[in-house]
Chains A and B, each alone.
Chain A
Amino acid sequence: MLLEFEKPIADLELKLQEMKDLAKGRNIDLATDIQSLEEKIQSLKKETFQNLTRWQRVQLSRHADRPYSLDYIYEITNDFIELHGDRTVKDDKAMIGGLGDIEGRSVMFIGQQKGRNTKQRQERNFGMANPEGYRKALRLMKMAEKFGKPIVTLIDTPGAFPGLEAEERGQGEAIAKNLREMFMLKVPVICIIIGEGASGGALGIAIGDKVYMLENTWYSVISPESCSSILWRSWDYKEQAAEALKLTAIDMQKNGLIDGIIEEPLGGAHRDMKGMAKILKKTILEALKDLEKIKPEKRIEQRIDKFCSMGVFVE
C-alpha cells in the first residue's frame, strides 16, 4: 500500500526496475542512466521525507506495512518468551509482553500490538488495550523489578479501548495505577513510541527514564481526527488539528516532553524493518548502559523530577 506522497517515489522505482530488466534482457549498457535514476530517487526520497507535514507523519505512523511491536522484538532478541494474562480476567491480545534477550542481556518487553490483516486486527483489537491489558503490563513490570531486569515498552496505540466492558472493569483506574506504579519501579525503564501514541492509552505504559519517539510517529493527548471533531465539530480538519497539536517527534522534543528522536531509515521504518530494528537495538543498549550507572533511588528521583518539570504557566 502506498501513501499519496510515496507514489512519485514508487513510480520512479518502478521505472528503475524496468530499466534494469531492459538492460539485462537485451544486453544494453544502461549503467549511466540507471545510476542517474538511482540518484534521482535518492534525492526525491530525501526531499520528500525531510519536508513531511505533521499529518503526513501521522499517516506514516499508521502505514499498513509499518512494523509492529512483535516484529521488532523477534528481530532484536535471540530468545523471546511471550508471557500472557493479567491473572484476573483474561489475556488482552492488544497488549503483549515477555522476556527476551538483547545480545545476552535479559529485558522485559511490553507493548501494544496491532494486527496485519482483518482477522489479526480484530484479534488485536486494533492495538486498543482493555484494562486487563494495562494490568498485564503492570504484572510484567513488577516481575521485571522482582528479578532485576530492565523494562522496554513499545508504544503503538490509537488509544485505550472505549468499550462497555472496559468501563465496567475500570479502564481509568488501570491506566492511573500504571502511571503511579511505573514511577516507583527500581529497574531502568525505556519507552519508545514506534507508531501511534494516543493519549492515556499510550501514557499507561510510557513512564520511563528515557522516552523516545521514532521519527515518523505521533504522541499527543488526542488523535487529530478526534481533535478536529471536538474543536471544529467536523472530521475534515484533521490536517489543521495535527498542525495545532504539535504532535510529531520534533515538536515533542522541542517542547521537552520526550528525551530523544530515533532516526528511521530513509523512506520510513516500513521500507526497512531490519534496518530499523538494528537502530532500535543500538539505542536500547546505549540507554541501558547509561541508566545502569545510576543508583535505583536516584533513577526514580530523576524520573519523577523529569515529568514534574513538564508544563508551561505564568506566575
Chain B
Amino acid sequence: MAWFKRTDKGIKTSTEEKKDAPDGLWFKTPKGNIIHTRELKNNSYVCPDDDYHVKIGSKEYFEILFDNNEFKELDTKMVSGDPLKFVDSKPYTTRIEQTINKAELNDAVRTAVGKMNGFELVVACMDFSFIGGSMGSVVGEKIARAIDHSLKHKIPFLMISKSGGARMMEAGFSLMQMAKTSAKLALLDKAGIPYISLLTDPTTGGVTASYAMLGDFNIAEPGALIGFAGPRVIRETIGKDLPKGFQSSEFVLEHGFLDFIIDRRQLKNRLTTLLKLLNN
C-alpha cells in the first residue's frame, strides 16, 4: 500500500513554475567521481579524488598564477580578419562572430603581464573553447607581441599551450604563425630571457611543432595529450593500434622532450622556485 495518496491526477505544475536545479554546481570526472564546483575551484580545478586535471582556460590560469588575480592584459581588442574569404559549412567571419559571443573571448589566446609570488611574468595562455584553440593570425601576433614585451622589459615568458594545431580557415597565414612565433623566440633565446613552455591537454599539430616545444623548460600537466600528428592519423598511417599511454605527458617525458610534469596545484610555487633558481 502506498504511503501517500495522489488526490489529483497527473502533474499540474506549469512549465513556468518548474524549479530547475542550477546548472554547473556539480562536476563529474571521467572516472565518475562527483565534486562540487566550489571545491574544484579551490583545488586549482584538479579533482581531489583522482587527481584529474579539468580542462580550464586563460581566466582560470591567470587566477591560479597571478598574485590576487591582478594583471594587465595586452592587446585585448585584437580580432581575426578573413584574408582568404574562407567558407566551409559556414563563412569564417560568421564562425568567428558566433564563437566570440559563445566563448566570450576574442580569439584563442590571451596575453597578460603581472606578478607571480612577486616575480614579474609575461603569460600567454590559449583557450581551447575558441575553435579548438586553433592558431591563426591573432594567436600568432598576440604571442609575438607578448614576447616583444618580455624582450623590452626583460621579463620571463610563460606560454600555456592548449590547441588542436593550426587554424585551417587561415591556411597559409596560419602556417606562417609558426614561423613568426619561432622568430620571436629566437630573439628571446639570444637575449637570454627565460622561456617556460607549459603544455596542457591537448597540445598537437603546428603548436607542438613551433612555440610549445621551444621552451628553455618544457613542462606539462599530467595526462595531457601531446604530439605532432593526431592519434587517429597515426593509427590510419601505420595500420596498427597505438600502445597505451602513447602521446601522454608521461610518454613525452620518458622520451626526453619534457623537463618535468607538474601537478597544477603546485604550478605557481614550482615556477616561482624555478625563477628564483635562475635569479640567484
Contacts and interface: CB of A to CB of B under 8 A. Distances in A.
A126 to B, nearest CB: 11
Interface in B216-264: 227-230, 233-234, 237-238, 240, 242-243, 246-247, 255-257
Interface in A291-315: 303-304, 307-308, 310-315
Nearest to B230: A162
A170 B257 contact: yes
Contact of A313 (B141, B178, B185): B141
B171 A220 contact: yes
Interface stretch (A31-39, A55-63, A240-248): A240-248
Given A180-B214, A314-B80, A220 B176 contact: no
Q: Kindly state the interface size class of chain B when it binds its partner.
A: 35 or more
Interface in A160-175: 160-164, 166-173, 175
B154 interface: no
B138 A246 contact: no
B13 to A, nearest CB: 42
Contacts of B243: 164
Contacts of A170: 213, 255-257
Interface string A151-187: 0000000001111101111111101110111011000
B150 interface: no
Contacts of A311: 137-138, 140-141, 173, 176-177, 180
Interface in A229-286: 230-232, 244-247, 251-252, 255, 257
A227 interface: yes
A211 B234 CA distance: 30
B179 interface: yes
B228 A160 contact: yes
B58 interface: no
A312 B75 contact: no
A221 B78 contact: no
A109 interface: no
A171 B186 contact: no
Contacts, number: 190
Nearest to A240: B88
B208 interface: yes
B209 A200 contact: yes
A288 interface: no
Contacts of B276: none
Interface residues of A, number: 52
A133 B225 CA distance: 24
B84 A313 contact: no
B171 A179 contact: no
B212 interface: yes
Contacts of A172: 208-209, 212-213, 227-228
A219 B173 CA distance: 11
B149 interface: no
A222 B178 CA distance: 14
Given A171-B228, A179-B182, A311-B137, A255 B206 contact: no
B166 A222 contact: yes
A175 B228 CA distance: 10
Q: Which 7 A-B pairs have the closest CB atoms?
A: A162-B229, A172-B208, A311-B137, A179-B182, A312-B81, A172-B228, A312-B83
Given A163-B229, A222-B166, 6 more contacts: A172-B208, A172-B212, A203-B178, A220-B175, A221-B206, A311-B141
